[in-house]
A and B are shown apart, each in its own frame.
Chain A
Amino acid sequence: MLDIQTQLFESQDLRLGPIDHEKDPEIESRWTHDSEFMRLMDTNPARPVSAAVIKKQYEKLEKQVEENKNLFHFMIRTKADERLIGKAAIQWIEWTNGNAFLRLGIGSADDRRKGYGAQALHLLLRFAFAELNLFRLSAIVPEYNEAAVALLHRFGFVQEVCRRSALERDGRRWDLYVFGLLRDEWQNGARAREE
């Protein structure tokens, strides 16, 4: 059945929505002072970023969304108090191949391990497969991001590639994983969870 009643951007506790150019830069800037968060989110060198620079990044991002047409970006907020807790994107979309890459981060350590990541991922998958009509979704995760690896497994992602020793951090080399989830697998998994 065509289910347009179920909200795409709302879960039990969260809402996916746009950037707030006034309020968000300050909060995201705070996240960048947490090196653990930066290293879980990105393979680029972690460094604190000012609210002013974050603001410019948002403008660049929105320009990219408009011009490249291969990126959808969301801020993640709590429904109860509209508090910004993370960000997410479906990016590097190849429309002709139906493939794209997933990005998801919960910014503050206090908001992690509360199930917010799972709620957000649930929404993102529905958006990717039922709204963008993608055929598959990929995610790139460093070996040391155990929470992300566990979450992706829980949602049925398959670890497809192990790029051996592709990262260097804390004086040693780490593997970088590529995960993939096909639309069929997502549909069957969603059905199994409902039953």
Chain B
Amino acid sequence: MKDLFRGELVRLTLVEPETGAKAAILWQRDSEFQRLLDNSPAQSNSEKKIREGFEKDAENGFKPERYVFSVRTLAEDRFIGFFSIWLDLIHSEAWVGLGIGAREDWSKGYGTDMMKLCQQYVFCELSLERLSLGLFAYNPRALRSYERCGFRLEGRTRMDTMREGNRVDSLWMGILREEWLQLQEGDGK
């Protein structure tokens, strides 16, 4: 059987509210991080509020509509980020959102490794037909990573986000179960 929680660079683990809040309070200082994650206005939340959010995630983590994982590096066992999966079991689809908080950890291959674990979880453990995600046109780093993971660009909602007075597109991506399975064969796994 595959190890669902261990990739090449990172491992998936449970949500730890205390550790999570301590890290996230620093991550949110970086407005670029917030703007890459979401197109609602960047904001400052208290450590208490963030911790309560994580506590809720820890409790609700295995309700079927949403799963949240913390991500740690294999090398130093350092908490670097998270991903959430929102499920639509009726139509056998999931949406994923992932974040790596500190910019020192960007462009190190962690995101791609996280996404591969996420795909494996969605297709091998949750047995879903489709995995979807959205990102902003100003995030080419994420686009490259997702393309490497086999996601196809399925379209762009034109100018639906406003940043710094500019109109930018949102990109919509998806990968089907059969496409993912084919990729695994290609990797000789």
- What is the interface of chain A, defined by CB distance below 8 A to chain B? 43-45, 94, 96-99, 135-136, 138, 158-168, 173, 178, 180, 182
Contact = CB atoms under 8 A, between A and B. Distances in A.
Given A94-B40, A97-B39, A178-B172, A160 B92 contact: no
A108 to B, nearest CB: 26
Contacts of B102: none
Interface stretch (B6-14, B70-78, B158-166): B158-166
Contacts of B158: 136, 158, 160, 180, 182
Contact of B160 (A44, A136, A162, A167): A136
Contacts, number: 72
A64 B39 CA distance: 22
A173 B159 contact: no
A178 B155 contact: yes
Contacts of B161: 97, 99
A44 B159 CA distance: 28
B90 interface: yes
Q: How large is the interface on B (under 10, 10 to 19, 20 to 34, 35 or more residues)?
A: 20 to 34
B145 to A, nearest CB: 20
Contacts of A159: 155
24 contacts: A43-B88, A44-B90, A97-B161, A135-B159, A135-B162, A136-B157, A136-B158, A136-B159, A136-B160, A158-B158, A160-B156, A160-B157, A163-B132, A163-B172, A164-B130, A165-B130, A165-B176, A166-B91, A166-B93, A166-B132, A166-B174, A168-B90, A180-B158, A182-B159
Interface string B89-103: 011110000000000
Interface in B39-80: 39-41
B185 interface: no
Contact of B154 (A97, A138, A162, A180): A162
Contacts of A136: 157-160
B16 interface: no
Interface of B: 39-41, 88, 90-93, 129-130, 132, 152, 154-162, 167, 172, 174, 176
Nearest to B160: A99
B156 A168 contact: no
Nearest to A138: B157
Contact of A43 (B91, B130, B132, B174): B91
A161 B93 contact: no
Nearest to B90: A45
Contacts of B154: 161-164
Contact of B162 (A98, A162, A164): A98
A100 B159 CA distance: 12
Contact of B157 (A165, A166, A173, A178): A178
A92 to B, nearest CB: 11
A164 B176 contact: yes
B129 A165 contact: yes
B149 to A, nearest CB: 16
A43 B91 CA distance: 8
Given A165-B176, A180-B158, A94 B39 contact: yes
